[in-house]
């Protein structure tokens, strides 16, 4: 008669092997689903198509505009978002759940709807639009409108990531700094932010990447000047898929290059 203990000992390694195999298969399928569309797009564009796109003035102008506006939106989110993230992470107050829900709302609203909201609240006939007109500023069809659209749809990613990073820093370290004579904000600047730096950089990178890919809100609030996503869409509508592919592939490669530089730079800093 088989020993029950031996049977259990044999069954456990088999179950671990089966679980590992299933997890590996699921993970591989997920990576394939994420990588395959982008790889297919770049492959379909071809080397000659991407090379031609990278010397096309309209394409270069749209990519540069995309990178600059995404960077501007990210910097604005960092300046305004860190105090908000600190408040949410450290200061309990009534209605915090409501504030967090409002900040997360752009993540679940379809982005064309956000574009409509921006048109209503910041269009030429809105209070904001009429107030900016006398000083020569406009939201609709302007780089400023692109920055605003990118900021609205992607700043929540930074704020939520920054909140979690700050929350992971032990609040007692701030208290120690304050006993040594620092006020709250000096303690935050000297203690909390350096310790939360990796998380803040990750949150900023995620926001920047999301901003560069924005389309739905931008196409409504600022069709002109064209960012890369709008230019690809415009060429798809005007000339068909074959004309849009090189633009899309060029944007993918440029964004990938920048993300790789950021990752490598951070790795070098840590070593």
Cβ contacts of 4 within 8 Å, gap of 6 or more: none
User: Judging by beta carbons within 10 Å of its beta carbon (0-12, 13-18, 19+), is residue 243 exposed, middle or buried?
Assistant: middle
Give the residue from 93, 85, 99, 98 showing the smallest Cα distance to 167.
Answer: 85
Task: Determine contact, residues 264/218, Cβ cutoff 8 Å.
Answer: no
User: How many whole angstroms from its chain centre is CA 8?
Assistant: 48
What is the reported pLDDT for 1? 47
pLDDT at 8 over 60: no
- In the numeric block, the tokens 């004579």 are attached to 181
What is the reported pLDDT for 156? 94
**Once rounded to an integer, what is the mean pLDDT over residues 192-219?**
91
What is the reported pLDDT for 2? 53
Give 48's pLDDT tier (boundaries 50, 70, 90). confident
Give 5's pLDDT tier (boundaries 50, 70, 90). low
SS3 249: helix
**Helix/strand/coil (H/E/C) assignment for every residue in 105-150:** HHHHCCHHHHHHHHHHHHCCCCHHHHHHHHHCCCCCCCHHHHHHHH
pLDDT tens, 116-142? 999 999 888 888 888 888 888 888 999
Q: Higher-confidence residue: 20 or 76?
A: 76
Task: Determine contact, residues 119/140, Cβ cutoff 8 Å.
Answer: yes
Share of the chain above pLDDT 90, in %: 41
pLDDT at 256 over 90: no
Instruction: Give the angle 46-227-211 at the CA atoms, nearest 5°.
Output: 100
pLDDT tens, 142-192? 999 999 999 999 999 999 999 999 999 888 888 888 888 878 888 888 888
Helix 241-270 vs helix 57-90: crossing angle, to nearest 10: 50
């Amino acid at each position: 008669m088989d020993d029950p203990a031996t049977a259990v000992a044999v069954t456990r390694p088999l179950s671990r092997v089966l679980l590992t195999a299933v997890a590996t298969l699921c993970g591989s399928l997920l990576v394939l689903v994420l990588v395959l569309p982008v790889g297919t797009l770049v492959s379909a564009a071809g080397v000659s198509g991407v090379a031609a796109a990278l010397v096309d003035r309209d394409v270069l102008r749209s990519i540069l505009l995309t990178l600059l506006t995404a960077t501007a939106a990210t910097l604005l989110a960092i300046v305004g978002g860190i105090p908000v993230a600190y408040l949410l992470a450290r200061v309990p107050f009534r209605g915090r759940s409501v504030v967090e829900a409002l900040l997360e709302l752009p993540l679940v609203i379809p982005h064309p709807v956000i574009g409509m909201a921006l048109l209503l609240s910041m269009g030429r006939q809105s209070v904001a639009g009429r107030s900016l007109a006398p000083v020569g500023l406009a939201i609709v069809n302007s780089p400023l409108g692109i920055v605003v659209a990118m900021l609205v749809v992607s700043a929540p990613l930074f704020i939520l990531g920054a909140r979690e990073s700050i929350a992971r820093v032990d609040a007692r370290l701030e208290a120690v700094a304050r006993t040594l004579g620092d006020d709250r904000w000096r303690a935050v600047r000297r203690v909390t932010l350096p310790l939360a730096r990796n998380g803040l950089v990750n949150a900023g990178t995620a926001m920047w990447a999301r901003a560069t890919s924005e389309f739905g809100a931008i196409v409504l609030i600022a069709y002109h000047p064209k960012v890369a996503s709008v230019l690809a869409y415009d060429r798809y509508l005007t000339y068909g898929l074959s004309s849009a592919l090189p633009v899309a592939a060029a944007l993918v490669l440029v964004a990938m290059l920048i993300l790789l530089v950021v990752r490598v730079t951070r790795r070098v800093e840590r070593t």
